[in-house]
Structure 1
């Protein structure tokens, strides 16, 4: 019998900068990983099963800051907001308007430096089972984290699944493990179902380890008929 999966949230709450982020009222959604089982399988088993160990990704939290003046009531006793989307999507919820957007040819660009731009954030606590060199995070894991936070952003902002079309990573500094990392992503451009994003992997205190650019294709809408 396998050991139960445990999110070591204490890895985050031991750090002041993490607590400040988790108590930020502009972040409206904070959730743990879904734990898959035979009765309730979930996607992304790479994060929810393979890397979910005490020595790989020890803890993982997904956060969303929708911007546009939206806030949540901060409860010091409970930081998690549940699984329901608590934000105004970049796109209209009306199905007909959504179809029109996905079929549109017009290209839209977004200012990723704007303080009110929607942003996805991932906090991860990493052990030594994801190393490349000795106590050095594998570069492929860094790229995977960028891909994950960008895809998470699209699931929040567009309430839709997506597939990675392109991913470019610029490595700026080696990551020493074990560590706590902060991953960010914002939407840069949109044209129909084609979405471009930018992201970074940081230490939460000003050091940027990697920056990335990604292009994703939103899933086609299911027929309502």
Structure 2
């Protein structure tokens, strides 16, 4: 999806995607024991024209001072008006959903040998509205791991680094032997 026209027309996106330190993360849905693929909310509902028109996931080095792993998980989104709460403005719940998804991804990569973690808490601070349609960058990084507890921070920002929403989450890694 990195070649989507919304990504191709923005110089800041092109510069970002050409960064040699990026490691693209392919989406490979796997089925659980009931045959259901994960992330149905995204795959069946949001990855549609007018909602999330395009997306790309990648990892890169993280310069945030509270980062514990040196890596951040990122997603670039082209979003449309079907995520609006108010005309021309993304719904606040959409912001929370994006932060939950990405902080969860960071938590998952922090404990790769454990079953997927579950969100215990997520606190979101809304800084500025996300005007739609637009392209946004979401980033998340692990700040601490203690046993099965994983604390993660995340932000949603525009192409100039302006933060529209930030969050802090606590995830609990699954117990070995469970899904």
Where on the TM-score scale, by shorter chain, does this alignment land: which range? Answer: 0.7 to 0.9
Q: Please point out which of 42, 45, 57 is paired with 2:40.
A: 45
TM-score, length-scaled by structure 2: 0.85
State whether structure 2 residue 146 is matched by structure 1 residue 151: no
Q: Distance in 2 between matches of 1:16 and 1:143?
A: 27
1:63 deviation in Å? 0.8
Equivalent residue for 1:64? 59
Unmatched 5+ stretches in structure 1: 1-5, 68-109
Q: Distance in 1 between matches of 2:132 and 2:65?
A: 33
Q: Which has the higher strand share?
A: 2
Unmatched 5+ stretches in structure 2: none
Rg: which structure is higher?
A: 1
State whether structure 2 residue 76 is matched by structure 1 residue 131: no
Cα RMSD of the aligned pairs, angstroms, is: 2.6
Equivalent residue for 2:93? 140
**Counterpart of 1:120 in 2: which secondary structure?**
strand
TM-score, length-scaled by structure 1: 0.69
Distance 1:124 1:32, change over 3 A: farther
Aligned length: 172
Equivalent residue for 2:10? 15
Equivalent residue for 1:214? 169
